């Protein structure tokens, strides 16, 4: 789709950016990252020489200045160690990569949800509830033929099933579903919490492909089922597995996925699909613009909140998840209130006054006199 380039990079671009293990900053390209590392983390504080790696700096300090390097400068508190050999993006431990990617994904969706909540625009690739109708216009003769072939196959299958004494899986299939079946991705529905990103998961991004894009930190938010995750969908759906819209969903198939806003939403659906309050509000805002089929008092309330511009409370769920990877939380610069412990906490009496009270130092006028 020839969409105008927006100011917001999409998730693949973000994930592809090289980033610095020591300070979690990301860069336009690898060259910049490497020069950053040389200037910020691998620079000798004695003579200013820039080394390529922490190990190199350690050897340099040892040989030239006869000193031992104990930590990497300007690094995040838990990344100061010399035990990992980092050069550019090489040498970053796999779990740290995953933490980083998760953080990027989470930030991306939070930012996106905020943008959508703020602007009221529908998510990318989706134009306010008329997606399916528009889709039909794009059908090529080949697609129509394919649809016809599929339709015939299905009718044949139904007949065969009927002949075997099994009830047909669905009532007369409406004319809309073949269009859905024809495209590699089901057309985004108003109720679909997040758009399917343009390309199936970029290579080398296992966490992204593995977790569900619309609920980044919690894979569990998406109930496991036979249907492949959206990012990996390639072929048209095997038709018999697809539940007829509006009818009871096949067991194990997540209803949100096919929920097209026409029928009543399955109870508790938004809570299942969204992991944070932000997302809920974003969903609500999006649904507010779509067909009025959305029921449920809480959603209405969320819509009202979004309309009134009330900021939802910080995404507690996301925070809790982030805290699971404790290292990631600190590294990710989570702006949460940090626990702190002061080594000297008396705000009235100075340490010197306390020291002066100790028998060791106490001054007694008579003693000297």
Partner 1 sequence: MAPATQFEVAQPPTDAISALAFAPGPASRRLLVSSWDKNVYLYEIGTFEHRAPVLDVCFGSGPEEAFTAGLDHQVKRIDLATGEQTVVSKHSAAVRCVVYSSEHSILISASWDSTLHVHNTANPSQPPLAIPLPGKPHAVAASPSKVVVAMTARLVHIYDLPTLASALASPQQPPPTPQPWQQRESSLKFLTRAVACMPNDAGYATSSIEGRVAVEWFEDSAESQARKYAFKCHRQAAPEEEGGGDVVYPVNALVFHPVHGTFASGGGDGTVALWDAEAKRRMRQYQRFPDGVAALAFSADGRYLAIGVCPGFETGMEDYSGEGRTKLFIRELGETEAKGKGSK
Q: Which is nearer to partner 1, 46 or 145 (CB)?
A: 46
Q: Positive or negative, the Cα torsion across 315, 320, 325, 329?
A: positive
Angle among Cα 139, 144, 148 to the nearest 5 degrees reads 155
Residue nearer to partner 1 on the CB measure, 140 or 347: 347
**Rounded CA gap, 141 and 148, in Å?**
10
Question: Do 243 and 267 touch, CB atoms closer than 8 A?
Answer: no
Shorter beta-carbon distance to partner 1: residue 181 or 325: 325
Distance CA 54, CA 73 (A): 10
- Beta-bridged to residue 19, according to DSSP, are 26
Shortest reach from residue 357's CB to partner 1, in Å? 10
User: Residue 164: which H helix or E strand, with range?
Assistant: none
CB of 367 to partner 1, least distance (A): 9
**What is the binding site for partner 1 (CB under 8 A)?**
45-48, 67, 70, 73, 77-78, 326, 330, 338-356, 358, 360-361, 363, 365, 368
Nearest-approach distance from CB 335 to partner 1, in angstroms: 13
Residue 163 or 342 having the CB closest to partner 1:
342
Query: CA torsion angle for 251, 254, 256, 262 (degrees, to 10)?
Result: -30
Residue 77 Cβ vs partner 1, minimum distance, rounded to whole Å: 4
Scored b (16 or more CB within 10 A) or e, 100-137 reads bbbbbbbebbbebbebbbeeeebbbebeebebbeebee
| Residue 17 C-beta: closest distance to partner 1, Å | 24
Considering the complex, state which of residue 63 and residue 234 has its C-beta at the smaller distance from partner 1: 63
């Amino acid at each position: 789709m020839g969409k105008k380039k927006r100011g917001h990079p999409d998730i693949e671009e973000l994930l592809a950016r090289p980033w610095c293990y020591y300070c979690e900053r990301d860069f336009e390209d690898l060259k910049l990252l490497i020069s950053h590392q040389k200037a910020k983390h691998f620079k000798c504080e004695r003579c200013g020489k820039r080394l390529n790696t922490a190990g190199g700096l350690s050897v340099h300090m040892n040989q030239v200045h006869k000193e031992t390097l104990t930590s990497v400068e300007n690094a995040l508190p838990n990344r100061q160690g010399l035990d990992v050999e980092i050069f550019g993006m090489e040498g970053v431990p796999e779990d740290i990569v995953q933490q980083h990617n998760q953080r990027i994904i989470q930030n991306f969706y939070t930012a996106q949800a905020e943008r959508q909540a703020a602007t009221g625009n529908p998510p990318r690739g989706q134009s306010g509830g008329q997606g399916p109708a528009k889709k039909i216009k794009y059908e090529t003769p080949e697609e129509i033929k394919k649809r016809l072939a599929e339709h015939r196959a299905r009718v044949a299958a139904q007949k065969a099933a009927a002949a075997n004494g099994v009830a047909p899986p669905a009532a007369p299939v409406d004319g809309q579903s073949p269009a859905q079946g024809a495209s590699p991705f089901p057309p985004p529905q108003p109720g679909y919490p997040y758009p399917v990103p343009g390309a199936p998961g970029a290579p080398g991004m296992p966490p992204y492909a593995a977790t569900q894009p619309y609920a980044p930190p919690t894979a569990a938010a998406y109930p496991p089922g036979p249907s492949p995750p959206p990012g990996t969908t390639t072929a048209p759906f095997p038709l018999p597995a697809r539940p007829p819209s509006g009818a009871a969903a096949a067991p194990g198939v997540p209803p949100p996925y096919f929920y097209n806003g026409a029928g009543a939403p399955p109870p508790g659906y938004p809570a299942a699909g969204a992991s944070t309050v932000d997302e809920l509000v974003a969903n609500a805002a999006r649904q507010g613009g779509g067909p009025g089929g959305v029921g449920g008092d809480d959603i209405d309330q969320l819509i009202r909140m979004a309309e009134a511009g009330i900021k939802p409370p910080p995404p507690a769920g996301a925070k809790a998840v982030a805290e699971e990877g404790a290292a990631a939380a600190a590294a990710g610069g989570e702006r949460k209130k940090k626990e702190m412990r002061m080594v000297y906490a008396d705000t009235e009496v100075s340490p010197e006054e306390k020291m002066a009270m100790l028998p060791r130092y106490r001054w007694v006028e008579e003693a000297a006199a």
